[in-house]
């Protein structure tokens, strides 16, 4: 018996049961003979035939199919009956990334509860979580703004307050749009959360950590060790989100990127001392 490739002029080949039950070699690029066509069922052969009839292949070989179907009188399966066995490369890549994300996040959720493998460090991670929470930052900035007796200090604190508010609003909008559930292993015992905080993407702590770290490094004169400490704190906040099981790795990664970019927005919307006096005058 000639090899499948020789019989089919180099086209893709496969073996299908003929009407006498014997397997026949045929090209999957041509429409199968009528007795082989059947409605969608569990038969893998018919599924594979439909694979060769996939829309992209049909579009590419439409003329040959049309001529072959008219020649053999074979019925063209309607598109909705064809299984899409050729998802796009991007779809496959995104699905793979999501699977890796969920698997890695599950593996890294080592202190999601007290009896997890690293449950003993959960209190420390909760402390880091609080250090990145919106409420302590808002309260701290308002206190510094109130206690500041220099125009420069007030200018910096007012713009940091505006940055925190912009961050909260943008994160809330993205969370509300994406509505990604938090990891299944998360135990939601975070304090002072609001409606959208039940969603996972992006991590509000990560956006705030990146935004505040960039802001402090740009507007405070800090010695080198303190600058390293600020970066270490931001990294630990992001890491704690995954270790506590609050977020997937992609939630935190995107949060860091979003917070970093949010600082550019704060620089564009920077309130100068003149603008500050005008604002204070209007408030006064
Ligand atoms: C209520 C205020 C002022 C801030 C909410 C802070 C918070 C709970 C954010 C959620 O962070 P993750 O998205 O990282 O869990």
DSSP letter string, 267-282: HHTPPPHHHHHHHHHH
State the Cα–Cα distance between residues 201 and 180, nearest whole angstrom.
Answer: 6
Whether the Cβ atoms of residue 75 and residue 83 lie closer than 8 Å to each other: no
Q: Give the residue, by CA position, lying nearest to ligand 1 atom 5.
A: 134
Confidence at residue 67, expressed as pLDDT on a 0 to 100 scale: 47
Query: What b/e string do you get for 99-111 counting C-beta neighbours within 10 Å, with b at 16 or more?
Result: eebeeebeebbbb
Ligand 1 proximity of 172 Cβ (cutoff 6 Å): no
| Helix, strand and coil percent figures for the chain, each rounded to 5 | 65, 5, 30
217: exposed, middle or buried (Cβ count in 10 Å: 0-12, 13-18, 19+): middle
User: What is the pLDDT at residue 34?
Assistant: 56
Active site residue 219: no
Ligand 1 within 6 A of CB of 259: no
Q: Is 142 in the pocket of ligand 1 (CB under 6 A)?
A: no
Q: What's the average pLDDT block by block, 10 residues per block, for the chain (284 residues)?
A: 43 46 44 49 43 43 46 59 72 94 96 91 96 97 95 94 97 98 91 88 98 97 96 98 97 98 97 76 73
Tokens of 122: 């959960």
pLDDT of residue 269: 94
Which pLDDT score is estimated for 102? 97
pLDDT value for 39 = 44
Going from the Cα of 163 to the center of ligand 1, the distance in angstroms, rounded, reads 15
For the Cβ of 132 lying below 6 angstroms from any atom of ligand 1, the answer is no
Pocket probe for ligand 1: among 126, 130, 133, the residue whose CB has the most ligand atoms within 8 Å is 133
Q: What is the pTM of this model?
A: 0.70
- Dist. CA 120–CA 111, nearest whole Å: 8
């Amino acid at each position: 018996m000639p090899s499948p490739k020789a019989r089919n002029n180099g086209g893709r080949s496969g073996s299908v049961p003929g009407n006498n039950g014997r397997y026949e070699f045929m090209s999957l690029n041509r429409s199968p003979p009528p007795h082989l066509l059947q409605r969608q069922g569990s038969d893998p052969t018919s599924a594979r035939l439909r694979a060769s009839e996939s829309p992209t292949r049909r579009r590419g070989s439409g003329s040959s199919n049309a001529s072959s179907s008219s020649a053999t009188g074979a019925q063209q399966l309607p598109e909705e009956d064809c299984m899409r066995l050729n998802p796009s490369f991007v779809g496959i890549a995104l699905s793979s990334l999501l699977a890796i994300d969920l698997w890695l996040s599950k593996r890294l959720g080592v202190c999601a509860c007290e009896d997890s493998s690293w449950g003993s460090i959960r209190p420390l991670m909760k402390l880091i979580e609080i250090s990145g929470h919106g409420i302590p930052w808002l309260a701290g900035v308002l206190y510094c703004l109130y206690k500041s007796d220099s125009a420069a200090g007030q200018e910096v604190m007012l713009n940091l307050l505006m940055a925190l508010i912009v961050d909260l609003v943008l994160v809330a909008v993205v969370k509300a749009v994406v509505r990604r559930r938090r990891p299944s292993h998360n135990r939601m015992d975070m304090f002072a959360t609001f409606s959208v905080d039940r969603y996972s993407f992006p991590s509000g702590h990560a956006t705030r950590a990146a935004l505040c770290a960039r802001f402090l490094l740009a507007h405070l004169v800090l010695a080198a060790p303190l600058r390293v400490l600020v970066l270490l704190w931001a990294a630990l906040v992001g890491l704690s989100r995954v270790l506590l099981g609050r977020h997937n790795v992609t939630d935190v990664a995107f949060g860091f990127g979003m917070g970093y970019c949010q600082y550019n927005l704060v620089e564009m919307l920077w309130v100068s001392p003149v603008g500050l006096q005008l604002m204070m005058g209007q408030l006064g």
